[in-house]
Amino acid sequence: MPSFPAVRAGALCAALPALLASFAPALLGAQASPAASPSASPASPASKAASRAVAKPAPMTTAAGEWPSYTGDTRGSRYAPLEQINATNFSTLEVAWRFKTDSLGPRPEFKLEGTPLMIGGVLYATGGTSRGVVALDAATGAKLWTHIEQEGARGAAAVRPLSGRGLSYWSDGTTARILYVTPGYRLIALDAKTGARITTFGDSGAVDLKTETDQTILPDLVTGEMGFQGAPVVARNVVIIGAAFREGGAPKSFRNNKGYIRGYDARTGKRLWIFHTIPQAGEPGYDTWLKNSAETTGNTGVWTQLTVDETLGLVYLPVESPTGDYYGGHRPGNNLYGESLVCLDLATGVKKWHFQMVHHPIWDFDLSAAPILADITVGGRALKSVAVPTKQGILYVFDRVSGKPVWPIVEKPVEAGDVPGEWYAPTQPFPTKPAAYARNGVSLDDLIDYTPELKAAGVAVASKFKLGPIFTPPVVSKAGGPVATLANGPTNGGTNWPGGSYDPETHMLYVHASNYSPAVLGLVTPAAGASDMDFVQGLAPQPPGTPRANSLTVQGLPLFKPPYATISAINLDKGEIVWQVPHGETPDAVRTHDALKDMTLPRTGQPGMIGTLVTKTLVIAGDPQVTTSATRARGAMLRAYDKTSGREVGAVVMPAQQSGSPMTYLVNGRQYLVVAVSGGAYSGEYIAYRLPAGAAK
């Protein structure tokens, strides 16, 4: 019999009548609502005497074997204290169940990036090209209910389409809801037992997130550029929503919509507060936008995951770049709160503190990963910290109450460029600890070096570009050179949206980073009618035979030398990297290359964006590419590392690469691992692994 949760562990006694009542649909043979409609199964209206939105329910945790929030908890940890699956048995894992997402939309999806939730024996996930929501029996994978919104033109115009990365769960102890954001940028509240809309929430179960934005969304609410593919965060009955925009370095206008961040009441859908990530006149930070450019500039939202300290009542916003990614001539000044970590009061949205990682952003160094809240001990003193992995391959660590850096962050002079009309910040902040865990900047030492001949060829390719350390500015692209600035981080380097994970017992942070291919930062004047910006990302026409600047290779091999990706373990008490290992099999294109086939290559790791999971003893992550082997089926490996040493201790074959971050839970005394796989010709699928029957003890 499926379990339909109304509460998380710890509130069972108080909610026992409601929990027993929730089994009625299963006893009657009505497991689910087929495609829940806005009018189905209304919830009881919330009383005005109910707890205020900022009441303090127990923080979400994985301690009881559940996974109640996108990162397990609201702190960004991706940690579960489970050890049934361990180094001695990981390689014996077998498939418990699998769920294909092809039916959750008009066509299959090949970019399934979701991480499910698991509460009370039920797994909740998004999937498919329509971003459907499903509830599955966590032990068997049997479908309990499905909900799909039909958004018509609004969905077709989505700037952040497909299935997104997840959803959120909320309960007041008697009722439970699933909340998620549609491709058309609406917040939907569903009954966790049936999948029906909660009609007392917002407008019949939906809140239009293109309204109540303290601005007029242009050009209209249907096609206006704004969306969100992340999972909402729910804490103390407040739902916090990010804002995202169309990807790319050539926006149609520097007068884009603004990515303000909002908090909503989880019961009613009422907007509780809004934070202006681009300050309005009279607000702190407005003067960092010279020539009144705060009035015209857009973006500066949060497209990745937010995190919350539920005990302190604080929200942490990892803010992206302003419009546009590589040219800021229309917005002179340091541009707060672009590329800043911002701490807000959960109840009011009032700013507590901020730190800007990049002044006047022109490198697309969006804060791309969820901030990780870590209680650590530094110099013998207990400290509540927040650690932020970045595209720069730099971990920034702060006291999460005061915003003071845990270790000094020093302002250092950086190069000024010569792009007409651009404004350049004279200094940038450089953390003194920890050391960078991934390459940033580009030098000749970073280039391919398998053989002297390949090295020389790599130097010849790089000679057409501008190289330099981190914060080397973009250049106007010229046919005779420089074609562009080569940079690490903006698109293919450091840590992206999967983020890191944290072990609260050992105070170790684990983070994946990619290092394989440079970003190409060239600027051109846009074609007539394409954009009103003075410059957009692009490349000047090049002479015949010039290497393709957006796919820089040497004889088909990556321009950069390996490792192409790593997992690092960082001790947050000391600010030191403890170990670092290449992650992922050597790609087939490298291993079988004619120039290398007679060489014995160490594992290079694989390019891609991968999230990690930490358990009592293991760090778990899947390969981002499929490879072939004479000793196993073609596929990608799901790997386990000893978390103290980085030594690989087990692996199993997946049919496709990991595309969503893994999670784990305990049901009926057995531990499960669930991971989303997709890519290439393989459409999105959630696969659950467990030990063979009898092996779990």
Q: What is the largest CA-CA distance in the chain?
A: 76
Domains of the chain, with CATH numbers? 225-416+425-437 (2.40.128.630)
Average pLDDT (242-253) is: 93
Is 552 within 8 Å of 520 (Cβ atoms)?
Answer: yes
Average pLDDT (507-512) is: 98
pLDDT at 4: 38
> Could you give the angle at the alpha carbon of 429 between the alpha carbons of 427 and 431, nearest 5°?
150
Kindly indicate the confidence band of residue 19, based on its pLDDT and cuts at 50, 70 and 90. Answer: very low
pLDDT at 2: 38
Is pLDDT at 114 greater than 50 in this prediction? yes
Given strand 132-137, what is the order of strands in its sheet?
117-119, 122-127, 132-137, 143-147
Beta strand 340-345 with 314-318: parallel, antiparallel or unpaired?
A: antiparallel
Is pLDDT at 480 greater than 80 in this prediction? yes
Kindly indicate the confidence band of residue 545, based on its pLDDT and cuts at 50, 70 and 90. Answer: low
Is pLDDT at 20 greater than 50 in this prediction? no
What's the DSSP call for residue 160? S
Question: Hey, what are 121's tokens?
Answer: 């024996």
Q: How far apart are CA 230 and CA 226, in angstroms?
A: 13
Kindly indicate the confidence band of residue 697, based on its pLDDT and cuts at 50, 70 and 90. Answer: low
Between 165-169, 535-539, 608-612, 693-697, the lowest mean confidence (pLDDT) is in 693-697
Is pLDDT at 661 greater than 60 in this prediction? yes
Is pLDDT at 445 greater than 60 in this prediction? yes
Is pLDDT at 40 greater than 90 in this prediction? no
- Model confidence over 398-426: pLDDT tens digits? 999 999 999 999 999 999 999 999 999 99
pLDDT at 49: 28
Average pLDDT (205-214) is: 98
pLDDT at 15: 37
Average pLDDT (446-461) is: 96
> Could you give the angle at the alpha carbon of 492 between the alpha carbons of 160 and 526, nearest 5°?
65
Is pLDDT at 364 greater than 50 in this prediction? yes
Is pLDDT at 21 greater than 60 in this prediction? no
pLDDT at 45: 33
Average pLDDT over all residues of the chain:
91
Query: Which residue in 403, 395, 464 sits closest to 432, CA to CA?
Result: 395
Kindly indicate the confidence band of residue 8, based on its pLDDT and cuts at 50, 70 and 90. Answer: very low
Beta strand 557-558 with 565-571: parallel, antiparallel or unpaired?
A: unpaired
Output phi, psi for 16, to 5 deg: -55, -45
- Model confidence over 591-604: pLDDT tens digits? 999 999 889 999 99
Is 371 within 8 Å of 318 (Cβ atoms)?
Answer: yes
pLDDT at 54: 58
pLDDT at 43: 34
Is pLDDT at 116 greater than 60 in this prediction? yes
pLDDT at 442: 96
Residue percentage of the chain with pLDDT more than 70: 91
pLDDT at 597: 86
Question: Hey, what are 154's tokens?
Answer: 């609004």
DSSP states of 417-472: ---TT----SEEEEESSSPPSS--SB-GGGB--SSHHHHHHHHHHHTTSB-BSTTP
Kindly indicate the confidence band of residue 489, based on its pLDDT and cuts at 50, 70 and 90. Answer: confident
pLDDT at 58: 76
Query: Which residue in 631, 665, 516 sits closest to 582, CA to CA?
Result: 516
Beta strand 271-275 with 307-309: parallel, antiparallel or unpaired?
A: unpaired
Average pLDDT (350-379) is: 98
Question: Hey, what are 181's tokens?
Answer: 């954001």
Is pLDDT at 552 greater than 90 in this prediction? no
Q: Residue 665 carries which side chain, given as an amino acid letter?
A: Y
Question: Hey, what are 439's tokens?
Answer: 């390459």
Is pLDDT at 236 greater than 60 in this prediction? yes
Is pLDDT at 14 greater than 90 in this prediction? no
Q: Which residues pair with 519 in a beta bridge?
A: 487
- Model confidence over 280-289: pLDDT tens digits? 999 999 999 9
